[in-house]
Amino acid sequence: MEFPVRLLVLIALYILPVTVQGDVRKYTFNVVTKQMTRLCSTKQIVTVNGKFPGPTIYAREDDTILVNVVNNVKYNVSIHWHGIRQLRTGWADGPAYITQCPIRPGQNYVYNFTVTGQRGTLWWHAHILWLRATVHGAIVILPKPGLPYPFPKPHREEVIMLGEWWKSDTEAVINEALKSGLAPNVSDAHIINGHPGPVSTCPSQGGFKLSVETGKTYMLRLINAAMNEELFFKIAGHRFTVVEVDAVYVKPFSTDTILIAPGQTTTALVSAVRTSGKYLIAASPFQDAAAVAVDNRTATATVHYSGTLSAAPTSLTSPPPRNATSVANSFIGSLRSLNSKNFPANVPATVDHDLLFAVGLGINRCHSCKAGNGTRVVAGINNVTFKMPTTALLQAHYFNLSGVYTTDFPGKPHHAFDFTGKPPSNLATMKATKVYKLPYNSRVQVVLQDTGVISPESHPIHLHGYNFFVVGRGSGNYNAKSDAKKFNLVDPVERNTVSVPSGGWVAIRFRADNPGVWFLHCHLEVHTSWGLKMAFLVEDGNGPNQSILPPPSDLPKC
């Protein structure tokens, strides 16, 4: 650029601060297979750019992100930018057959979206098949230029991705389960930044190391990328100050244990309060439904103080038992929106759509399911097991294609039963592609009620395209009269994924200000595969900025 032109641009930027545009950040995601050795055995996994965990996307609030995803594997691929609001850009959201058709082998697609009104830790992952087991990475959204964090600036920031590792191919694991009608095998290890740490079957297995200096504070950007397990996270001899979840600031609070469900993110500060030594980091499962099989192996990593001799002993920590409901409740109960002048909690005070979604399992006939004795386990919402369409719902909506979905998703169970008590004798569900229609800007409340069908169980429910406020939570069956009176409408935590407690309910509220088709599903991959999913269809508004933007020209076709 010539000097005077550059000067003019600078002056223009300075005197026209009306529409502050961020930078454009470009990434190329090459989806390729890569050989990896873990737990003393080697296998091929699907990765982005040969990395596991995948590359971190860095952006600032208001930036536009362009990711060219190139599919070089044998599977169909699509990628979801988990927690990004995608205002009017549902075409870039990613869930296969919901907002786009998959990117076929040999093809590519440029995801194009802007980060608006969000800052903190989010993540990206494949949203098709079980590919997200290894196709995932962090998204770090820094505050706008010149804006500080609303807490002391840490000395260093570190992404900590938690996950699960299977010795078998994960597609074989889910395919075997869908064929039998029974639950898939649990994983062979939990992992912290890709590594399980030493385990009895493979003592040489290494673990992630976090190097620290005494007196400094570190910001950990925690992400639970596990397929099927909520996790406890602890560091021996250290406490956390939680400052943000799902890219929304919270009122800081101190805790020695973090609970994080698949899909959720948690940013916490840790002060290096010791003088030397090695301290164990542990990630272990939380599963308080005794009937549900769990991978009970604890992943380990270490905090290393600088100057510590390698022979120094490691300070241990004992992870909470898998059924430590009280530890889980205490963590969840501490979460509150920051609700400051700059970051208010705009909770809808009243609602236009008051919905009750019963989430849980069911049992359908399956003649080919020999291991399941002619039945298969399914899952659903309000007795509807979601049937994946073969055309993306957003395309069907935008182009007025008929026959892809119906708009009669039930806002309440047709047949209410004692959800957390005795289940009905007929556990069958209905298989259909139904959406629930919401007018633009309507205020919505959804009470997510766990059912005890087969077994009560916690379900981390994720809503695409939105954050919601978690206004209430309780055990047993939700009582609209007495429970609603106790809702927190002042500073409830705002997030994109919330766990329905095992044998209980959780109430969320949001304003439907983002037109499009938005997936709502359990983030336990086993339950999603079994059909615990549905979609909201949010209509366009009448204003100039209240309609879905046209699809990009390279949007994959079915």
Which pair of tokens denotes residue 295? 């991978």
Q: Count Cα neighbours of 265 within 13 Å in the Cβ-side half-sphere.
A: 30
Residue position matching structure tokens 């407690």:
501
Does residue 425 interact with ligand NAG by CB under 6 A? no
Does residue 372 interact with ligand NAG by CB under 6 A? yes
Among 168, 254, 276, 318, which residue interacts with ligand NAG (rule: CB under 6 A)?
168
Q: How far is the CB of 422 from ligand NAG (least distance, A)?
A: 12
Find how far residue 537's CA is from the centre of its chain: 20
Nearer Cβ to Cu ion (47/264): 264
Does residue 73 interact with ligand NAG by CB under 6 A? no
Among 265, 302, 429, 477, which residue interacts with ligand NAG (rule: CB under 6 A)?
429
Query: Buried (b) or exposed (e) across 420-441, using 16+ Cβ within 10 A?
Result: beebeeebebeebbbbbebebb
Among 5, 12, 16, 19, which residue interacts with ligand NAG (rule: CB under 6 A)?
19
Helix (H, G, I), strand (E, B) or coil at 347: coil
Does residue 289 interact with Cu ion by CB under 5 A? no
Nearest to 115 by CA among 88, 141, 79: 141
Nearest to 363 by CA among 451, 466, 479: 451
Report the alpha-carbon distance of residue 229 to residue 234 in Å, rounded: 16
Identity of the amino acid at 303: V
Q: Do the Cβ atoms of 447 and 478 come closer than 8 Å?
A: yes
Which pair of tokens denotes residue 437? 């229609």
Say which entry of ligand NAG, Cu ion, none residue 172 contacts (CB below 5 to 8 A, set by partner kind): ligand NAG
Taking residues 495 to 524 in sequence order and writing x for each that binds ligand NAG by CB under 6 A, - otherwise, the string is ------------------------------
Say which entry of Cu ion, ligand NAG, none residue 459 contacts (CB below 5 to 8 A, set by partner kind): Cu ion
Report the alpha-carbon distance of residue 375 to residue 373 in Å, rounded: 6
Among 87, 393, 522, 535, which residue interacts with Cu ion (rule: CB under 5 A)?
522
Does residue 426 interact with ligand NAG by CB under 6 A? yes
Identify any residues that bridge with 269 across adjacent strands, giving them in sequence order: 219, 241
Say which entry of ligand NAG, Cu ion, none residue 161 contacts (CB below 5 to 8 A, set by partner kind): none
- Part in contact with ligand NAG (CB under 6 A); list of ranges 29-37, 43-51, 100-108, 518-526: 100-108
Does residue 404 interact with ligand NAG by CB under 6 A? no
**How many CB atoms lie under 10 A from the CB of residue 491?**
18
Containing 528, the helix (H) or strand (E) segment is helix 525-529
Nearer Cβ to ligand NAG (220/555): 555
Does residue 402 interact with ligand NAG by CB under 6 A? no
Sort residue 538 into left (φ over 0), alpha (ψ -120 to 50) or beta. Answer: beta
Does residue 361 interact with Cu ion by CB under 5 A? no
Angle at 262 between CA 132 and CA 489, to 5 degrees: 135
Among 459, 462, 509, 533, which residue interacts with Cu ion (rule: CB under 5 A)?
459
Say which entry of Cu ion, ligand NAG, none residue 527 contacts (CB below 5 to 8 A, set by partner kind): Cu ion
Q: Do the Cβ atoms of 471 and 498 come closer than 8 Å?
A: no
Helix (H, G, I), strand (E, B) or coil at 395: helix
Residues 264-293 that bind ligand NAG (CB under 6 A): none
Q: How far is the CB of 524 from Cu ion (least distance, A)?
A: 4
Does residue 30 interact with ligand NAG by CB under 6 A? no
Does residue 172 interact with ligand NAG by CB under 6 A? yes
DSSP codes of every residue in 256-272: S-EEE-TT-EEEEEEE-
Say which entry of ligand NAG, Cu ion, none residue 101 contacts (CB below 5 to 8 A, set by partner kind): ligand NAG
Does residue 373 interact with ligand NAG by CB under 6 A? yes
Report the alpha-carbon distance of residue 251 to residue 260 in Å, rounded: 17
Taking residues 217 to 246 in sequence order and writing x for each that binds ligand NAG by CB under 6 A, - otherwise, the string is ------------------------------
Distances (CA, A) of 119 to 25, 122, 150, 516: 16, 9, 11, 23
| Polymer length of the chain | 558
Does residue 473 interact with Cu ion by CB under 5 A? no
Q: Which residues contact ligand NAG (rule: CB under 6 A)?
A: 19, 66, 76, 101-102, 104, 110, 112, 168, 172-173, 176, 182, 185, 296, 321, 323, 372-373, 383, 399-400, 414-415, 417, 424, 426, 428-430, 543-545, 549, 552, 558
Q: Which residues contact Cu ion (rule: CB under 5 A)?
A: 459, 522, 524, 527
